[in-house]
């Protein structure tokens, strides 16, 4: 029955679908990290490097902001 066949994908179709899904996730994760990095950088500039004020604006604890500064290598701000 043709309707039953349409419910199932070939292994190649399934593999292609899973690859595309993974690729979208990786791209989305990178863009989220880039956006976060840019928000942190701008907050640090606005607060002239005062991390306590930048953390408060961003809604992070100071410790979280310090970790993110290290992660994104933003020590120069």
Tens digit of each residue's pLDDT (9 = 90 or more) over 13-39: 655 655 555 666 666 777 899 999 999
Selection from 57, 49, 59 nearest residue 69 by Cα: 49
CA distance 11 to 70: 43
CA 6 to chain centre: 36
Q: Is 21 exposed, middle or buried (0-12, 13-18, 19+ CB in 10 A)?
A: exposed
Give the residue among 17, 66, 29 at the shortest CA–CA distance from 44.
Answer: 66
Q: Are 45 and 77 in contact (CB under 8 A)?
A: yes
Q: Is the pTM of this model over 0.75?
A: no
The pLDDT confidence band at residue 68, using thresholds 50, 70 and 90, is: very high
């Amino acid at each position: 029955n043709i309707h039953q066949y349409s419910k199932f994908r070939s292994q190649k179709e399934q593999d292609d679908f899973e690859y595309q899904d993974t690729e979208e996730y990786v791209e989305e994760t990178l863009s989220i990290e880039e956006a976060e990095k840019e928000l942190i950088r701008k907050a640090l500039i606005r607060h002239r490097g005062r991390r306590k004020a930048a953390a408060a604006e961003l809604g992070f604890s100071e410790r979280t902001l310090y970790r993110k500064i290290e992660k994104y290598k933003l020590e120069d701000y």
